[in-house]
Every structure is written in structure tokens, then in C-alpha cells.
Amino acid sequence: MATAGTRLLTISVGGTEYAAQVKKSVVTSQAADGDSPTFGEASTGGAREYRLALTILQDHATTTLWDKIWSSSGTTAAVIVRPYGNTTPTTSQPHYTGNVVISEPDGDFIGGEADSAVATRWVTEVEWVFTAKPTKITA
């Protein structure tokens, strides 16, 4: 059995691969806001909300993920998260798919702190809400 590692994950948004621009990619789950759960939701612990949390490099060119956020905020995009980086999903190395609503960050969007290290890059952190629970694809 292969475990997911820290160097393999790839991610595409709207059909474009962005792994080279993403420093962190996490799918999170939390209790959804809701004042009136159904009996079905209550019996399973309540409704859930899924989010895609990303830390991306700031690159303002028109073909980048940063520009996709700048230009497409408020739109819905298909996402594929491949924890193993494999092209074809399998039962032991699945992919996760879903649709997210692209939104701008609640924080640093352009620029950052000065740093004398040549390799240091500014980053932007975003969190996008999935429209439904992501689907696990195994074949």
C-alpha cells in the first residue's frame, strides 16, 4: 500500500494543472452552518461543508492560478486533487473531484514582506467552498 507523500500531489482547476504554483493543498471538512437541520442530517451528525484550502505562489501573469482568482472570483470551477500525482485513478491511489466557488483571499493578495533570501517568494492563501462533498474516483 502506498501512502500519500509530501511531493506527489497535483491539482487542476478548471482543467488546467497548477501543481507548480501550489505550495499547500488541503481539503477540509467542518460542520455546516445551519439553524434547521433535517432529521437525516441530525442522525448523521449534521450537514458538512467541504473547502479547498490552498497556499499559492504570487505570479501575476495571465496564465497563473493567482490570475484565475483575480479574474474569475465568484465563478464555479471543476477541481481534481490527485494526492499521489497519478494520471489514472485506482482503488489504491484515488483522485478527488468536485466543484468549488473561486473566491479572493481574506488577507494578503498582492505583495508581502521583504526578504534578503533570493529564493523567497510571496504567497497568497485562499479557501474555496465545494458545492458538494468531493467525489472519490477509483477507476
57 has pLDDT over 80:
yes
Residue-level pLDDT at 6 = 85
Name the DSSP class of 118: T
Residue type, 132: A
With a pLDDT cut of 70, the percent of the chain lying above it is: 98
Tell me how far the alpha carbon of residue 65 is from its chain's centroid.
Answer: 11
- What pTM does this model have? 0.89
93 has pLDDT over 70:
yes
Residue type, 116: S
Quickly count: other Cβ atoms within 10 Å of residue 73's Cβ: 14
Average pLDDT over residues 77-101: 97
pLDDT digits (tens, 9 = 90+) for 27-46: 999 988 876 777 877 777 77
Under the banding of pLDDT at 50, 70 and 90, the label for residue 1 is: low
